[in-house]
Structure 1
Amino acid sequence: MTLLPYPSLQKPARFWLACLTVLLLIPGLAYAHPHGWIDMRVRLILDDQGRLEGLHQSWRMDPFYSLIILEELGLAEGEGGLEAGLDQLGGEIRQNLAPHDYFTELQVGGEKLALGEVTEYTVMERGGRVEFIFMLPLETPQPLSDRTLYYKVFDPTYYLEVVHEAEGNTPLDDALVVTGELRCSTRIVPADPDPERVMEAAMLDITDEAEPGLGRYFAETGEVTCD
């Protein structure tokens, strides 16, 4: 299943028609994955014992999808206006992402970390783009002293590309930060997919759904090493 993490599953037909129209008007986009992107910032939250409590993530939807979403919310504007519509959208996003671990994988010492349930989240419009901000807690806080954490954030079907906020090919300083008393170094490792995976993605058109897992090969890796 291709998961669109922000539109409501109950949107009227005109919403999906608008999505399709925009996608077809973007040169080259209708004939290859991905069909949209998310600019992401990640902040690791550590407690006073140097344990990782969770990842505070900010996702900015690309301008085309943002435009469609904001226009649709405007057409459906009722009591409470845009703010109420964005609040409802936030709940739909969280609900759609929950079965997929919020598109996030974490590993420390070669072991995958269990994630908790997102209860803190919001959606806002910033600079003409829709932004989903949420706190993704770990099921159990994990010590990071003298350890290295690796994470990937990706749409399993690669319908959406998730990348850290950057200028050109250089991630922004706040694309990956760590709070707390530990001294930690960070880096963002670009994806290096096998040419066969690139070909597989290129052959998918707008009507196709990739097998779950394709997005992992195109995901950047966040790396955090703490003393």
Structure 2
Amino acid sequence: MIETIVLDVGETLTRDDRYWATWADWLGIPHHTISALVGAAVVQGRDNADALQLVRPGIDIDAEYAAREAAGRGEQLGERDLYPDVRPALGGLQELGIRVVVAGNQTAKAGDMLRNLDLPADLVATSAEWGVAKPDPAFFARVLEASRAMPSETLYVGDHPANDIFPAAAAGLRTAHLRRGPWGYWWADDDAVQAAADWSINSLTDLLDLVSY
């Protein structure tokens, strides 16, 4: 029985199109160019950030992030970035008595912005706040601490095979692969992903039926 559901952030709760558009604007390239390069990285199984390296080889992403913040063109996250099924699904899970945790590879600023959205969640945490990022096993050790449930009673939901499904399954958690966003769509029917995921879902509202069984 599932007692706790832990959800990734990017392309699970939030759309990444504004995130990448702001990087395109900062680097002075068309939005469709960065989208295509992110897609190429996805198909090759590379990290999304490699798209920035393709635009500007040798880029120091942390330094550029700081420069964007200093210029008032930094990270943004608001209601418009949430997928429409987020509030109904998370609220419905809480009504069923499920503990809801949000935990993904984000900055501390993103954590603050997510908490300011007052999501139906018992806890919101980011990798920057925990000091460890996916797919490090230590991240999923923190997930289990936040879960307050056994690994077999904890379900991790995400779109990214290498960052979400494979390491969560290796940590003993149940997993649900979400067909959403570039990673989610491209890898949804991959044999290894299908084998590692306990469930494949098309919407977060599918979780309501899943935990009701």
TM-score, length of structure 1 as denominator length: 0.34
TM-score, length of structure 2 as denominator length: 0.36
Q: Which protein has the bigger strand share?
A: 1
Q: Which protein has the bigger helix share?
A: 2
Higher RCO (CA < 8 A, seq sep 6+): 1
